[in-house]
């Protein structure tokens, strides 16, 4: 994932297509959830998140998207969140 962030840091995020930006976003989100995000990666991921959220009507719609997709996206990247409130 760090390699992905290095690539993202060297290009203009606004020039990325939705699918590429989405992949970068979920890489960042997963690194955050794993506790692996720090330093310059944090700044790059904040920029990626900001650009990705522009593709949604508002923060509420983005939040709905995140809730609906987080488990699948995290699992694809080797992370399983254990929520004490899940069945």
Q: Is residue 86 part of a domain?
A: no
Q: Is residue 84 part of a domain?
A: no
Q: Poorest-confidence range of 3-7, 35-39, 41-45, 71-75?
A: 3-7
Write the pLDDT tens digit of every residue in 64-81. 999 999 999 999 999 988
Q: Is residue 16 part of a domain?
A: yes
**Stretch 82-87: mean pLDDT, rounded?**
56
**Stretch 3-27: mean pLDDT, rounded?**
78
Q: Containing domain of residue 43, as a range?
A: 2-76
Q: Is residue 28 part of a domain?
A: yes
Q: Is residue 81 part of a domain?
A: no
Q: Is residue 30 part of a domain?
A: yes
Give buried/exposed letters for 24-56 (b at 16+ CB in 10 A, else e). Answer: bbbbbbbbeeeeebeeebeebbeebbebbbeee
pLDDT of 38 reads 86
Task: Name 49's Cβ contacts closer than 8 Å, sequence gap at least 6.
Answer: 25, 28, 29
pLDDT of 87 reads 40
Q: Could you give the number of structural domains in the chain?
A: 1
pLDDT over 50 (residue 22): yes
pLDDT of 39 reads 84
Q: Is residue 83 part of a domain?
A: no
**Stretch 10-24: mean pLDDT, rounded?**
84
d(CA 82, CA 5): 26
H-type alpha helices, 15-77: 18-34, 40-53, 59-76
Q: Is residue 87 part of a domain?
A: no
């Amino acid at each position: 994932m760090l390699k992905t962030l290095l690539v993202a840091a060297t290009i203009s995020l606004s020039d990325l297509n939705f699918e590429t930006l989405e992949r970068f976003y979920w890489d960042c989100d997963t690194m955050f959830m794993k506790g692996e995000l720090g330093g310059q990666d944090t700044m790059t991921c904040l920029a990626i998140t900001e650009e990705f959220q522009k593709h949604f009507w508002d923060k509420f719609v983005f939040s709905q998207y995140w809730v609906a997709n987080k488990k699948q996206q995290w699992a694809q990247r080797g992370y399983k969140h254990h929520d004490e409130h899940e069945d």
